[in-house]
């Protein structure tokens, strides 16, 4: 066998290795972000050793929202969402209340426009005028994640958030857990908008 033949050369190198692109940092996994990733963020308690890869800005943003759930297992977070969408009072209210604003009732605290929580139901929000906003990158992406255009009132943002959580929840999808990443993205987006004072 002639080891120097052209034919041998061609089969000696696996095509996928020969054509592999130069090693490149993965892109940030944040929706809509095209920055290089490389900053690792833990995926959660039941995914030890698995990490998201974000850019520096987004790993900070992710960690903020990740810490929000510190001490809760992923299942507890999902369980919270399940409770919230089926009308059971959760044990933890996600900090929806503005600091210092003592709600009259639990339903008021959530401003529950669809009556998910068994309260009196639709409660018109005070915000009728569209707020004027200059959106930063995080805010823009967070509105995008919620399929909003950025002009919505706080009431509308909350309503959309609840609607999406309800729609994407595994219980509403025959136990399909493939939507969890999208759900997580929506939770992150909502908490960013809340922390930034949009709702």
When asked if residue 33 is in the footprint of Zn ion (CB under 5 A), the reply is: yes
Q: Hey, what are 82's tokens?
A: 């399940």
State in angstroms the smallest separation of the CB of 91 from Zn ion. 33
Q: Which is nearer to Zn ion, 55 or 78 (CB)?
A: 55
With vertex at residue 148, the alpha carbon angle to CA 165 and CA 172, rounded to the nearest 5 degrees, is 20
- Stretches 13-21, 54-62, 82-90, 141-149: which one binds Zn ion (CB under 5 A)? 54-62
Of 87, 90, 66, the closest CA to residue 79 belongs to 90
- Using CB under 5 A, which of the segments 1-9, 35-43, 150-158, 184-192 binds Zn ion? 35-43
Provide, rounded to whole angstroms, the least separation between the CB of residue 35 and Zn ion: 4
Q: Binding residue for Zn ion (CB under 5 A) from 44, 52, 55, 192?
A: 55
Can you say whether the dihedral through the CA atoms of 191, 193, 198, 199 is positive or negative?
Answer: negative
**Which residue number, 28 or 189, has a Cβ lying nearer to Zn ion?**
28
CA dist., res. 164 & res. 167, Å (int): 5
Does residue 58 bind Zn ion (CB under 5 A)? yes
The nearer residue to Zn ion, 117 or 190, going by C-beta atoms, is 190
- Residue 169 CB neighbours (<10 A): 19
Among the residue ranges 15-23, 33-41, 60-68, 93-101, the one whose residues contact Zn ion (CB under 5 A): 33-41
Beta-carbon contacts of 83 under 8 Å, excluding residues fewer than 6 positions away, are: 89, 90
Cβ 37 to Zn ion shortest distance, Å: 7
CA distance 165 to 183: 6
Least Cβ distance, residue 58 to Zn ion (angstroms):
3
152 close to 188: Cβ distance less than 8 angstroms: no
In whole angstroms, give the CA distance from residue 54 to residue 195.
Answer: 20
Residue nearer to Zn ion on the CB measure, 97 or 137: 137
Q: Is 35 in the site for Zn ion (CB under 5 A)?
A: yes
41 vs 107, beta carbon nearer Zn ion: 41
User: Which residue in 75, 90, 99 sits closest to 195, CA to CA?
Assistant: 99
28 binds Zn ion (CB under 5 A): yes
Binding site for Zn ion (CB under 5 A): 28, 30, 33, 35, 55, 58
């Amino acid at each position: 066998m002639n080891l120097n033949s052209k034919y041998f050369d061609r089969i000696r190198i696996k095509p996928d290795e020969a054509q592999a692109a130069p090693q490149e940092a993965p892109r940030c996994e944040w929706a809509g972000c095209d920055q290089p990733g490389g900053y690792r963020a833990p995926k959660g308690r039941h995914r030890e050793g698995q990490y998201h890869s974000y850019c520096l800005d987004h790993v900070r943003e992710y960690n903020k929202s990740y810490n929000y759930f510190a001490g809760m297992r992923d299942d507890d977070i999902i369980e919270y969402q399940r409770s919230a969408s089926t009308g059971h009072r959760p044990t933890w209210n996600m900090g929806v209340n503005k600091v210092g604003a003592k709600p009259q009732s639990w339903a008021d605290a959530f401003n529950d426009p669809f009556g998910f929580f068994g309260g009196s139901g639709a409660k018109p929000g005070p915000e009728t005028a569209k707020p004027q906003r200059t959106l930063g990158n995080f805010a823009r992406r967070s509105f995008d994640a919620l399929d909003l255009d950025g002009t919505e009132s706080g009431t509308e943002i909350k309503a959309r958030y609840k609607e999406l959580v309800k729609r994407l929840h595994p219980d509403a999808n025959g136990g399909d857990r493939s939507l969890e990443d999208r759900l997580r993205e929506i939770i992150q987006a909502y908490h960013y908008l809340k922390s930034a004072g949009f709702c």
